[in-house]
C-alpha cells in the first residue's frame, strides 16, 4: 500500500492504546496521514481506524524486525518524505507480585530487553528513516518519562534508565541533525490516565502533583503534535514535562 495525496505523514510506534492511541487520533483529526507501528494488528485494538490508518507490524525487541518494518514504511511512502516520527513505544516490566523492579532485582536479560525496546529501537528507527525525514525537514519526538529524572515508586529501574537514555539521545541527535533542519525533541509525561496505572497512583497524585489530578492522554498528544508542526519550527533538543508540575 502506497500513500497517495499531499497530507503530511507521521509514523507512531506503540500506537494501539494509551498515549500512543491518543497521538494517532489527534494527528488523524488534524488531517495527517498516519502510519502506526506495533506488535499487534492495529485495527483489532481500534475498530474506527480500520481502512484509515496504515499499519506495520514490528517487534521492537528484534533488530531484524525493525529493519524490515522500516523497509515496509519506505515502500509505503513511495518516494515521499516523512514529516514526523514519534517514538512512543515502551515497556516497564514488573516483579511477579506487580511491584517495581529495582536495580538489584533486575536480571541482565531484562535490562538488555528493556534498553532494546525503549532506547535502541528509537535510535534504529531514527537512523533508518532519516532520509525521508530530511526531505521534509521533519521532526522526531521521543516519549520519555518523569522516571527519567527522579526515582519513581512504580516505574522500575530498567525503564527509568532507558528513559534517561532516551532524554540524552534526544539532545545528542538534535545536535547532530541541527543543520539538516530535522528537529528532535522529547516529552516526559507523568501520571497519565491509561489502563496501565498502578494501584496507589491516586494517592501519589494527591501528594506529589501540584495540580492534584491525573493527566489525560490527549494532553500529551497535543504537545507531541505541537512539536511536530510549524509552530515549533525553532524548537529542537528540548524536553517538555507533561505532569501537572510533578517534576518541581
The answer as to whether 129 is a domain residue is: yes
Question: pLDDT digit string (tens) for 216-228?
Answer: 899 999 999 999 9
Residue 248 lies in a domain: no
- Collapsing DSSP to helix, strand or coil, 207 comes out as helix
Residue 4 lies in a domain: no
In a domain, 1, yes or no: no
- State the residue for C-alpha cell 516497564: 92
* Inside any domain, residue 66: yes
Tally the domains of the chain. Answer: 1
CATH number of 61's domain: 3.40.50.720
The single-letter DSSP state of residue 198 is: P
Locus of grid cell 509525561: 189
Query: What is the CB neighbour count within 10 angstroms for residue 231?
Result: 10
Is residue 202 pLDDT above 80, yes or no?
A: no
User: Does residue 164 belong to any structural domain of this protein?
Assistant: yes
The separation between CA 158 and the C-alpha centre of its own chain, rounded to angstroms, equals 17
**CB atoms inside a 10 Å sphere around CB 138:** 24
For 83-114, write each residue's pLDDT tens digit: 999 999 999 888 888 788 889 999 999 999 99
User: pTM (2 decimals)?
Assistant: 0.92
Residue 15 lies in domain: 9-242
The catalytic site residues sit at: 159
Instruction: Please check whether residue 247 lies inside any domain of the structure.
Output: no
Amino acid at each position: 500500500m502506497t500513500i497517495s495525496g499531499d497530507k503530511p505523514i507521521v509514523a507512531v510506534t506503540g500506537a494501539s492504546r494509551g498515549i500512543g492511541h491518543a497521538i494517532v487520533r489527534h494527528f488523524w483529526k488534524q488531517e495527517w496521514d498516519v502510519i502506526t507501528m506495533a506488535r499487534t494488528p492495529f485495527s483489532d485494538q481500534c475498530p474506527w481506524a480500520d481502512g484509515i490508518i496504515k499499519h506495520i507490524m514490528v517487534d521492537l525487541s528484534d533488530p531484524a524486525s525493525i529493519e524490515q518494518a522500516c523497509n515496509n514504511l519506505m515502500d509505503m511512502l513511495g518516494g515521499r518524505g516523512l514529516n514526523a516520527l514519534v517514538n512512543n513505544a515502551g515497556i516497564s516490566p514488573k516483579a511477579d507480585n506487580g511491584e517495581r523492579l529495582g536495580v538489584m532485582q533486575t536480571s541482565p536479560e531484562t535490562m538488555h530487553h528493556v534498553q532494546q525496546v525503549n532506547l535502541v529501537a528509537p535510535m534504529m528507527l531514527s537512523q533508518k528513516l532519516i532520509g525521508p525525514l530530511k526531505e521534509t525537514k521533519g521532526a522526531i519526538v521521543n516519549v520519555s518519562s518523569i522516571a527519567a529524572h527522579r526515582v519513581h515508586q512504580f516505574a522500575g529501574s530498567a525503564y527509568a534508565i532507558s528513559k534517561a537514555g532516551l532524554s540524552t539521545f534526544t539532545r545528542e541527535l538534535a545536535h547532530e541533525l541541527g543543520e539538516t533542519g530535522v528537529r528532535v525533541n522529547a516529552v516526559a509525561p507523568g501520571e497519565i490516565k491509561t489502563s496501565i496505572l498502578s494501584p496507589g497512583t491516586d494517592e501519589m497524585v494527591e501528594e506529589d502533583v501540584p495540580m492534584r489530578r491525573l493527566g489525560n492522554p490527549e494532553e500529551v498528544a497535543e504537545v507531541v503534535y505541537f512539536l511536530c508542526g510549524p509552530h515549533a519550527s525553532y524548537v529542537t533538543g528540548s524536553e517538555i514535562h507533561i505532569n501537572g508540575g510533578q517534576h518541581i
